[in-house]
Homo-oligomer: A and B are copies of this chain.
Amino acid sequence: MVSWNNLDTLNAYSQLLETKDDVKLAEVMAGESGAERVAKYAIPMAGGLTYHYAAKKVNDDILEKLCALAKEAQLAEKFEELYNGAVINTTEKRHVLHQLTRGQLGKDVMADGVNKREFYKAQQEKIADFAGKVHSGAITNENGEKFNTVVQIGIGGSDLGPRAIYLALENWAITNDTLKMKAKFISNVDPDDPVGVLRDVDLAHALFIVVSKSGTTLETLTNELFVKDALEKAGLDVSKHMLAVTSETSPMAKNSGYLAAFFMDDYIGGRYSTSSAVGNTILALAFGPDIFARFLDGMAAEDKIAACPDPMKNPEMMDALISVYERNVLGYGITALLPYSQALSRFPAHLQQASMESNGKSVNRFGEPMNYKTGEVIFGEPGTNGQHSFYQLLHQGTDIIPLQFVGFRKSQNEKDVEVKGSTSQKKLCANVAAQMVAFACGKDDENPAKCFAGERPSSIIIGEQLTPEACGALLAHYENKFMFQGFLWNINSFDQEGVQLGKVLATRVLEHNTDGALKGFAELLGV
């Protein structure tokens, strides 16, 4: 049995707080020993990736204490309980099974009277079969013509993850001649969103996937009606164009208005649902089921690595431990996510959700207040773009913001140009290496405005190319990192009670049942 304790009750945490070691990055990164440090502070990952933490403010002593913390906090045991089916999401009394969509790490998990691994696999097979028929032309529109576009209607977890992964692999799929259908996304209740997206969609050849676990998400149902209205006005047979992804118990599940329905369940939170039917349906339709299977393989392989009890061999655990060291010992509160890959342009937005919704909590698993900070703010844009934007503050601002870089040796396309003796890809890679060292080591200057204090820690995940496997491993890395952070902070990373109050008040506004400032603002906004 594991025991759940607040971070500040752990001996290993007290040891960390008492650490007097101030690791000076400008010193440890210099010279031959700097190069050795880069080689040594690295952990292999799945998908050809490696996690590097040489530019973090750690040394062997601190690493030892972090390993002790992992052990005392029973990180590996807690993950084991989770994947063996314990009710880890205590507030909602639910299993947490997103890892089970991509592989069986432990025992069979039975729930709702079925083996859940079998249930997830059955959905994958159903989706693969359906996608195959759409691609082959066995399933067509009302005129017997093939579909060419798939549009996801969903918000939050039903939007950000699938969208980020579609964008991550779109170029790769085109280069490798496996883009079967273009994908588009409608999410916002702002009517300008569906209007703008639909303008560029060939309705007659488009499939729409309505994604809502509960079948009651107001934004999604509203946008579904928006789309149905457009289909009807175009004289199309609505039921030939609409799919549902929902839970088996939702009102959407038994609705004959859909061409097909695929299922997820309550054991997978929206922000962790990319590997479930939520991401599967659109990604298998866009890229083919075999490509989605390769993406899942990357996730499964990384999950397996995350189950290793030794943090020195477990990049997810190490990343989580260092982040908690930065958050709670060094006092940093924000992390910037900086992928040097245009394909990962919306990856930071997805991880912003996954992290902040999971760990932005003020009470522990037992509903008690804690004496330490939890979840951090995550933001980021792809490099090199960010270098010409907000990096100024990262380099010379008054707060230290830890950085997480991602880089690949090869681009997704073959095409490149050589300018001033190097290709674009080499320039991209040279920049990320340069930034890491600039942040870590800084630079003195007679002119104080040109001084760089340095000592700004970063990590980097490096891969050969952003393939489906690498993409899966990358996503599983962060999902598991956020889980381990939650274990360390002793919070429930799998509920989201903080989204409820706004919903209740919005309903009240629409019913004109308000007073005070709420009434005032509602009137100003014309409601």
Contact = CB atoms under 8 A, between A and B. Distances in A.
A199 to B, nearest CB: 7
A207 B30 CA distance: 47
A10 B157 CA distance: 48
Interface in A428-450: 428-438, 440-443, 447-450
Contacts of A342: 188, 190, 192-193, 196
A486 to B, nearest CB: 13
A43 interface: no
A510 B399 contact: no
Number of copies: 2
Contacts of A372: 398
A407 B363 contact: no
A503 B431 CA distance: 7
Given A359-B393, A375-B398, A398-B373, A192 B518 contact: no
A171 B497 CA distance: 35
Interface string A494-524: 0111111111111111100001111111101
Contact of A190 (B31, B362, B384, B435): B384
Interface residues of A, number: 160
A340 to B, nearest CB: 7
Contacts of A409: 525-526
Nearest to A462: B524
A260 interface: no
B510 A427 contact: yes
Interface stretch (A95-103, A118-126, A416-424): A416-424
A270 B33 CA distance: 40
Nearest to A222: B419
A401 interface: yes
A525 B432 contact: yes
Nearest to A505: B434
A243 B505 CA distance: 51
A462 B188 contact: no
Given A373-B398, A424-B226, A430-B510, A353 B390 contact: yes
B388 A527 contact: no
Contacts of A433: 505-506, 509, 518, 521-522, 524-525, 527
Given A156-B385, A368-B448, A527-B429, A195 B171 contact: yes
Contact of A34 (B222, B413, B432, B520): B520
A211 to B, nearest CB: 12
11 contacts: A30-B517, A195-B413, A219-B388, A270-B388, A352-B389, A356-B397, A359-B393, A377-B399, A392-B498, A433-B522, A437-B517
Given A34-B520, A38-B521, 7 more contacts: A155-B385, A353-B388, A359-B393, A391-B499, A396-B498, A433-B509, A438-B505
